[in-house]
Amino acid sequence: MSTALYDSVIADFYDASPLVASRLQDVNFYLAAARNFGSPILELGCGTGRISAPLAQAGHPVTGLDISEKMLQRAEQKRASLPAEQRAHLRLVQGDMTSFDLQDYFPLIIAPFRPFQHLLNIREQLSCLACARRHLEAGGRLILDFFQTDAARMHDPDFLKEHTIADYEIAGDRRVRLTERTTAFHRATQCNDVEMAFTVTGPGGEQSRNVFAFTIRYFFRYEVEHLLARAGFRVLELFGDFDGSPLRDDSPEMIFVATAS
Ligand SMILES: C[S@@+](CC[C@H](N)C(=O)[O-])C[C@H]1O[C@@H](n2cnc3c(N)ncnc32)[C@H](O)[C@@H]1O
């Protein structure tokens, strides 16, 4: 990925976005995983600490690794607001999930809300899995989540049209209209270029348009299974949503729970 894709407008809009704020089910899922598989936990692509902070609050030592300084600053603000004991549980590290060496082992490594889908090519993906495997304790678990690919999103021209996905209020009596459009399909490389625009209207009617442009990789179920196998992992469970339901045709997510083979 390009260095610090998230060192951009997205860091300012991330936590308040309804797409993020409404994702409470995954927080509970990762809290349950921490209870089942133990800690310390390594979160790859921890962003603003949306998952790492609640894990630390629940008493689990967590290392959150992210490449983006701006996202980590947000996480640090959350860390600073925790009581001392919980604060001590959360370590934040700036680093690249495709090449890191923390000199530590973890019974649980997670990558919540699809950071792996920012790894656009197989070299980066295998590099990330190799690093994760080197940091996984014997018998430990690696959990990766993806959206389940909807093939229409890889070619249907409807997705090229800008459409509103949320309209909400933020601090300072401002309204945000969040719109999204795919700007290019790259079916041969299983990637889409996407633009998310946060259009902010202030109390006096003044407007600003803040665009987060990124490329996202589309994965398929068996592709991930093969990748994991190639990197020395065995899939133990595959869920289609954070309620623990199995992967079905209409499942929104693909959540792989793997161990070293
Ligand atoms: C959608 S956010 C997810 C953040 C957090 N896990 C959550 O659940 O809210 C993706 C995060 O992955 C990070 N990321 C992307 N590529 C990365 C890389 N190569 N190494 C480390 N972090 C990366 C981004 O900086 C961003 O913070």
H or E element in which residue 209 lies = strand 207-217
pLDDT digit string, tens, across residues 45-55: 999 999 999 99
pTM for the full predicted model: 0.97
pLDDT digit string, tens, across residues 193-218: 999 999 999 999 999 999 999 999 99
| Other C-beta atoms lying within 10 Å of the C-beta of residue 193 | 14
Q: From the CB of 255, is ligand 1 less than 6 Å away? A: no
* Pure H helices in 102-259: 122-135, 221-230
- Which residue's alpha carbon is at the smallest distance from atom 14 of ligand 1? 45
Peptide bond into 40 cis (omega under 30): yes
Q: From the CB of 118, is ligand 1 less than 6 Å away? A: yes
Q: From the CB of 1, is ligand 1 less than 6 Å away? A: yes
pLDDT digit string, tens, across residues 28-42: 999 999 999 999 999
pLDDT exceeds 90 at position 116: yes
Mutate to test the pocket of ligand 1, among 67, 100, 255 (most ligand atoms within 8 A of CB): 67
Q: Is 248 exposed, middle or buried (0-12, 13-18, 19+ CB in 10 A)?
A: exposed
pLDDT exceeds 50 at position 241: yes
pLDDT digit string, tens, across residues 70-98: 999 999 999 999 999 999 999 999 999 99
* Pure H helices in 24-115: 24-37, 52-57, 69-80, 84-89
Residue range 168-189: mean pLDDT, rounded: 97
Residue whose pair of structure tokens reads 């309209």 in the numeric block:
167
List the domains of the chain with CATH numbers: 9-149+219-260 (3.40.50.150), 151-217 (2.20.25)
Model pLDDT, residue 4: 85
Residues paired with 164 in a beta bridge: 179
Model pLDDT, residue 1: 43
> If pLDDT is split at 50, 70 and 90, which confidence band does 3 have?
low
pLDDT digit string, tens, across residues 121-173: 999 999 999 999 999 999 999 999 999 999 999 999 999 999 999 999 999 99
Residue whose pair of structure tokens reads 């921490």 in the numeric block:
34
Q: How far is the CA of 115 from the centre of ligand 1 (A)?
A: 5
In degrees, to the nearest 5, what angle opens at C-alpha 11 toward C-alphas 66 and 23? 85
- Which residue's alpha carbon is at the smallest distance from atom 26 of ligand 1? 47
Helices (H) and strands (E) in the chain, counts: 8, 11
